[in-house]
Copies of this chain bind each other. A is one copy, B any other.
Amino acid sequence: MNPEGKHTVAIVDDHSLFARSLEKLINSFSDFKVVFHAKNGVELQKKIEKRSVLPQLILLDINMPVMDGFETAEWLTLNHPEIKVLALSMEDDEQTILKMLRKGVKGYLLKDIQPQILNTALKELLEKGYYHSEKVSETLLHSLTPDEEGRIIDFKENELTFIKLACSEMTYKEIADIMDLSPKTIDGYRQDLFKKLKIKNRVGLVIFALKKNLIQL
């Protein structure tokens, strides 16, 4: 609570237009007040370390330069677990959401929500300790049966890197060089993925990655 008796919120977002608008919106709620902004994780770290009183909530964007939402969330969870972090993002793909939840955020909100929902989200975050967009819950539910048989597909970091590189014009040999792995290992990744995803060739992989938003054009 700040002197006005409102709960304190900080915003971390490099989209200035969005961040300012968001601030206006939040300040119009009766129970909340934005106490400061940061353009990225590094700026947030500095501001937090200067302050004696920390915000109760942090609205955290994922796509930022310098230090992105994932790193920032991780740092916050380790160093200031008492601050509840609400991830605010355009991405609704399961990988991103899961990754963010693993970093310890208490809520995940898509940016295309009703203003009223934001108010609800902030309140529930304080009361219940968590809040997720409906779409996020749906996505998570769906992501638990991505394989049409209920098997969970959870990519390892290396696999994810491979998929992203495979969606370029590189040959597997070049990919192996970049990832500093043997071409045979890369071939193993390819083979595993083809089986797991039931695809026939590299084009299938590209299409899969695009559908799941693992890459974007």
Contact = CB atoms under 8 A, between A and B. Distances in A.
A98 to B, nearest CB: 15
Interface in A131-182: 166-169, 171
Contact of A93 (B22, B112, B167, B217): B217
Interface stretch (A70-78, A99-107, A185-193, A204-212): A204-212
User: Number of contact residues on A: which range applies?
Assistant: 35 or more
A217 B206 contact: no
Contacts of A114: 16-17
B112 A18 contact: yes
A1 interface: no
Contacts of A203: 166-169, 202-203, 206
Contact of A169 (B16, B21, B113, B199): B199
Given A203-B202, A217-B211, A18 B167 contact: no
Contacts of A24: 21, 24-25, 28
Interface in A28-57: 28
A201 interface: yes
A204 B168 CA distance: 7
Contacts of A168: 203
Nearest to A25: B21
A14 B112 contact: yes
Contacts of A202: 202-203
A200 interface: yes
Contacts of A18: 18, 21, 111-112
Nearest to A21: B21
A115 B211 contact: no
The 9 closest A-B CB pairs, nearest first, are: A21-B21, A15-B112, A169-B200, A169-B204, A16-B114, A20-B115, A24-B24, A17-B113, A206-B206
9 contacts: A16-B114, A17-B113, A18-B112, A20-B115, A21-B22, A21-B24, A21-B25, A24-B24, A24-B28
